[in-house]
């Protein structure tokens, strides 16, 4: 890696925790504070599906007799 690539790389934080019953778990996360200087919000934000587009997708799926599943991923949009 070049020096510039190393400067802009994300730090990865890894934590190990020993539970009270003896098992060890590990959790990791990327520290994105260092990346904020090099990226813009338009590059990092993901677009949200509009209600009209979702209704169109549902209508197409119903017309074509497709199976659909709706799921919820907990704690996805916590601030």
Per-residue pLDDT of 45-54, as tens digits, reads 667 778 888 8
DSSP E strand stretches across the chain:
11-18, 24-31
Higher pLDDT, 3 or 47: 3
Measured CA to CA, the distance from residue 9 to residue 2 in angstroms comes to 11
Residue 18's pLDDT is what?
86
Rounded-to-integer distance, Cα 38 and Cα 40, Å: 7
> Three-class SS of residue 18?
strand
Sequence ranges of the domains in the chain: 3-63
Tokens of 2: 């070049």
pLDDT at 1 over 70: yes
């Amino acid at each position: 890696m070049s020096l510039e690539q190393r400067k802009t790389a994300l730090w990865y934080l890894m934590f190990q925790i020993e539970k009270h019953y003896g098992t060890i778990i590990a959790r990791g996360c990327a520290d994105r504070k260092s990346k904020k200087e090099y990226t813009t919000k338009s590059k990092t934000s993901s677009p949200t599906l509009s209600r009209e587009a979702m209704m169109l997708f549902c209508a197409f799926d119903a017309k074509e007799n497709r199976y659909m599943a709706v799921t919820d991923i907990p704690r996805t949009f916590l601030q």
